[in-house]
Amino acid sequence: MPTPGMDLIRAMAAGDRDAFARFYDRYAPLVFPLVLRIVRDRADAADVLQDVFWEAWRGASAYDSARGTPEAWIVMRARARAIDRVRAMRRREETFVAPVDEATTAASGGLSGDAAARAEDRQLVATALAVLPQPQREVIELAYFAGLTQTEIAERLEQPLGTVKTRIRMALARLREVTLA
């Protein structure tokens, strides 16, 4: 059953520029908060967003609705590009401590960073992730928003690797339930 998003991607694959504009207007405001949440800087986030939608335009013909919804297609791409950006900055500056700390603090419900970031964190926590118990929310924050690997998360939280993996799996199962409800 084709959705409006799928129709737009199909039209984009055929080279329809208006469809691209509509696709952007539909999804950019939904994806921008995620990118901003990850890269933290508005100008950087706008850059990343442009890369994401440019790739979507170029890759529209490779989209296969059997493999996922347009929402997952664009969100996963946006998250990957945003994390790329953060990792590149981390390599350049060798100081990734601050964003991770903020993510951890946000995950534990603490306060840090400027007021805008705090407001963002509260908004985020007030959405789907809010239903997760704190230990599960924390691992999702560190993996999905801060881009840490399971080993890095285990070290950071001083938890066994197996615990981290299990928490991620449980968190996703719980998120699945609530987002489908």
Partner 1 sequence: MSSHEPFETLAAVYAVDALDGDDLAMFEAHLPTCPACQASVRDAHETLARATLSMPPQAPPADARAALVRRVGERRERRARGWLRWAAATGVAAAAAAGFAGTWVAVRYEARLGQMARDTAAVRERLARNEAALQEQVAFYRGVVDLLRDPATRVVDLRGQGAASSAAARMIWNDAAGGQLFVTGLAPAPAGKTYELWTIADAAPKPAGLFGVDPQGRGVHRVAAERGVKAFAVSLEPEGGVPAPSGPIVLASK
Q: Which residues bind partner 1 (CB under 8 A)?
A: 15, 17, 20-21, 24-25, 28-34, 36-37, 42, 45-46, 49-50, 53-54, 57-59, 61-64, 67-69, 71-73, 75-77, 79-81, 83-84, 123-124, 127-129, 140, 143-144, 147-153, 165-166, 168-169, 172-173, 175-176, 179-180
C-beta neighbour count of 161 within 10 angstroms: 12
Nearer to partner 1, 107 or 143 (CB): 143
Alpha-carbon gap, residue 101 to 174, rounded angstroms: 25
Q: How far is the CB of 115 from partner 1 (least distance, A)?
A: 16
Question: How many Å apart are CA 11 and CA 70, to the nearest integer?
Answer: 13
Alpha carbon dihedral 59, 60, 66, 69, in 10-degree steps, equals 100
Residue 74 C-beta: closest distance to partner 1, Å = 8
Task: Report in angstroms how near the CB of residue 168 gets to partner 1 at its nearest.
Answer: 5
- The nearest distance, CB 156 to partner 1, in angstroms, is 12
Identify the burial level of 125 via C-beta atoms within 10 angstroms of its C-beta, where 0-12 means exposed, 13-18 middle and 19 or more buried: middle
